[in-house]
Structure 1
Amino acid sequence: MQLILFSKPDCHLCEGLQEKLEQIESVSLEIRDITQNEEWFQRYQYEVPVLFAVDASGGEHPIPRPSPRSNVAQLQQMLQKYESPSG
């Protein structure tokens, strides 16, 4: 499963989610630092971490933010709901 994580430096919620996602073998993770792109910053400055799934055609689909209290197994189970059939 390919995921995009919109994040920013010194965001503890972002760091925690990233660490958990990196422990899931089936996840390919792209980190996008919103401070490096004005459009991302304007859109997500008060929302990070923001998570998107990428489908087989390259489309990006938002995933609701998991609870910071979720463990890796709970996160993996939640992500299965958003995995595309092809992928």
Structure 2
Amino acid sequence: MRLILYSKPGCHLCEGLQEKLEQILQTRNTKSVQLEIRDIMTRDDWFAAYQYEVPVLYVTNRRDTEEAEEQMIPRPSPRATVSQLEKMLRKYL
């Protein structure tokens, strides 16, 4: 399973969410969930889709990128604690 975070450099909301996700994955000590960071500045289609929306979080049940179906996760509040974010993610993981 993969969590995909669409982000861009200098985005404080993106950086905060990334830090919380990394904490959750480290404390769960699981290798079954992988975090992938996608910089929207590297592809025109990502930039067009998410330039005003980052951070955007998706989950997919496949590790390989080919034909993996991505499901968008509602954006958590920037004020959400690590435990609140983990509780929300349980619904999707």
The amino acid that maps onto 1:12 is H
TM-score, normalised by the number of residues in structure 2: 0.83
CA RMSD of aligned residues (A): 1.3
Name the counterpart of 2:43: 37
Amino-acid identity (%): 64
Residue of structure 2 aligned with 1:74, choices 38, 63, 84: 84
Structure 2: segments with no counterpart, 5+ residues = none
The CA deviation at 1:58 is 2.4
The CA deviation at 1:41 is 0.1
The CA deviation at 1:36 is 0.2
Match of 1:66, SS?
coil
Name the counterpart of 2:21: 21
More helix by share: 2
